Amino acid sequence: MKNMLVAQSGGPSAAINATITGVIDAGLDSDKVQHVYGALNGIKGVLNENFVMLDEICKSKEERDLLSMTPAAALGSCRWKLKDPKDNAEEFEKIIQILRKHNIGYFIYTGGNDSMDTVYKLSQYFEAHGVDDIKVMGAPKTIDNDLGETDHCPGFGSAAKFIAATFREIACDSYVYDIPSVTIVEVMGRNAGWLTASAALARTEKRRAPQLIYLCEIAFDEQKFLQDVREALKKENNIIIAVSEGLKDARGNYVGEETKSGKEDAFGHKYLSGIGKYLEGLVGEQIGCKVRSVELNILQRCAGYMLSRTDITESRNLGAYAAISAVRGESGKMPALKRISDRPYHVEIRLADLSRIANYEKTVPTEWITEEGNDITEELVEYLTPLIQGEMDVPYENGIPKRFIL
């Protein structure tokens, strides 16, 4: 009997703990798995042999259910990209040595593009060097919904639900005054506008807010934007606008870049913030009506009080599928979702090749954005709607949601 190891990587999400819960479920269920370990802070925890006994800690179903509904990453995360094995064989050898030392035959790594790159490199190295006693599997996670080969990503549905619900609340808040007002809401998304698009799910027949939606897939034109806002204000007093944090102009420069910080993270991604504030200034200056901006900020990814049951269930299933696949001898792959139908919503899990996932970003197809570039199409609404359905029965403790803490 071998041990199983799971670790989390990349930015937190509301569903990544559901995925490791699925791994624990499968590990406890399998007669080929002795223990399920968790590595703290991703691949760094593997290198430092910083392990916890997850099957012991989460022995009860109650504890596992709590873990599955806790946002962020209970095992901690890291932003650590393994270098190319050519330059870094030592690190790969060290990982193999540590895994063998702890009799780990199955290693499941949850994360986004960068983490799938880590899994891919490991599996390639294992294959090239005849390491066949350790199976390594990815499990998808990213609120950005930008992984290839899967219909959508665990964590996205809950983030989309939070965003849609929040736009509805912001509309309630904005409609109370009868003077013209513009509210600009900045949503996460550097290169993919999926999260911003989900603002459209806030609409009802009686209230069409947000009236304007700008995704980062379409070059942003400030003059066209101001014209859109002026047109919208002719029809209604209260205008709500959803914008992706990563809006770029026709030359590919971030809109209002000079007003934002230029810091970069370990992967060279620019930290973005402030497009909302920038556009607030623009509307105030050029149109002169009451205007405010709201940055949804980290709540988008960590608000576990607004979980999508569809998302949490799928995330847990994907974690279990990754674990079971590893036990069955699969390696270097990632379980992915294939949508069979929209109505009724039905998905199936299939294994996808990491070679086609690592470092690839799936953006919103332009045919799902209206020609005017200021809204999304009905097809995209159809795609998004099932992903936010259903609620979880989150346990409360002293008035607020109870959380799993290691």
Encoded tokens for 402: 């109870």
Shortest CB 302 distance to a second copy, Å: 4
Q: Which is nearer to a second copy, 139 or 354 (CB)?
A: 139
The answer to whether 125 touches 85, Cβ cutoff 8 Å, is yes
Burial level of 130, CB count in 10 A (0-12/13-18/19+)?
A: exposed
161 binds a second copy (CB under 8 A): yes
The distance of Cα 336 from the centroid of its chain, to the nearest Å, equals 14
- Give the contact letters, 273-292, x = binds to a second copy (CB under 8 A), - = no: -------------------x
With CB under 8 A as the contact rule, the residue among 184, 239, 242, 302 that binds a second copy is 302
Which of 52, 165, 226, 351 lies at the binding interface for a second copy (CB under 8 A)? 165
From the list 20, 46, 201, 369, which residue makes contact with a second copy (rule: CB under 8 A)? Answer: 201
Kindly state whether residue 388 participates in binding a second copy, applying the rule CB under 8 A: yes
Minimum CB–partner distance for residue 173 and a second copy (Å): 4
CB of 213 to a second copy, least distance (A): 16
Asked whether residue 137 is marked as a ligand-binding residue, the answer is no
CB of 166 within 8 A of CB of 336?
A: no
Q: Does 294 bind a second copy (CB under 8 A)?
A: yes
Interface with a second copy, residue 343, by CB under 8 A: no
Q: Which is nearer to a second copy, 123 or 166 (CB)?
A: 166
Is residue 390 a contact residue for a second copy (CB under 8 A)? yes
Active site amino acids = 144
Q: Is 182 in the site for a second copy (CB under 8 A)?
A: no
Q: Which is nearer to a second copy, 250 or 400 (CB)?
A: 400
Q: How far apart are CB 324 and a second copy at their closest, in Å?
A: 26
Binding mask 58-77 for a second copy (x = CB under 8 A): ------------xxxx--xx
Among 60, 87, 97, 206, binds a second copy (CB under 8 A): 206
- Site membership for a second copy, residue 398 (CB under 8 A): yes
- Tell me: is residue 189 an annotated ligand-binding position: yes
From the CB of residue 372, how many other CB atoms can be counted at a distance below 10 Å?
Answer: 10
Q: Which x/- pattern, by CB under 8 A, does the window 22-61 give for a second copy?
A: ------------------xx--x-----------------
**Interface with a second copy (CB under 8 A):** 8, 12, 40-41, 44, 70-73, 76-79, 161, 164-166, 168-170, 172-173, 175-178, 201-202, 204, 206-207, 292, 294-295, 297-299, 301-306, 308, 385, 388-391, 396-401, 403, 405
As annotated, the binding site for Mg(2+) includes 113
As annotated, the binding site includes 11, 113, 142-144, 188-190, 245
